Amino acid sequence: MKKVYRRVPHVLERNAGPDVLAMLPSDDEVNVISGPAAVAWDLLSEDVTLDELIEEIAALYDRLARDVAPSIEGCMRDLTARGLVEERHA
């Protein structure tokens, strides 16, 4: 089984230039998602593994996967902890 990530279906979101504003309907906190995290957010519209996210973002920024991995891993932990992204086994 592999671990996949995806946006939580009931998250309210709006693009604000290069950033994304996201919030849960049951929460008053607006989360600003920017930079590579906003790129990850776009990719999270469907199931994606952490390795797929890292590879895609590394390619977009013309960087090595090992260089972006720590940032993307931290981003996924943060978005999951905020309840905006769900993690499951596929």
Q: Using one digit for the tens of pLDDT, what is the confidence trace for 66-87?
A: 999 999 999 999 999 999 999 9
Chain centre distance of CA 22: 11
CATH of 3-89 among 3.30.450, 3.40.50, 1.20.1440, 3.90.930 = 3.90.930
Would the pLDDT of 36 be above 90?
no
Q: How confident is the model at residue 4 (pLDDT cuts 50, 70, 90)?
A: very high
Q: Report which DSSP code applies to 46.
A: S
Task: Let me know: does 19 contact 33? Beta carbons within 8 Å.
Answer: yes
Structure confidence by residue, pLDDT tens digits, 13-34: 999 999 999 999 988 899 999 9
Give me the long-range contacts of 58-63 (CB less than 8 A, separation at least 24): 61/36
Q: What's the whole-model pTM score?
A: 0.89
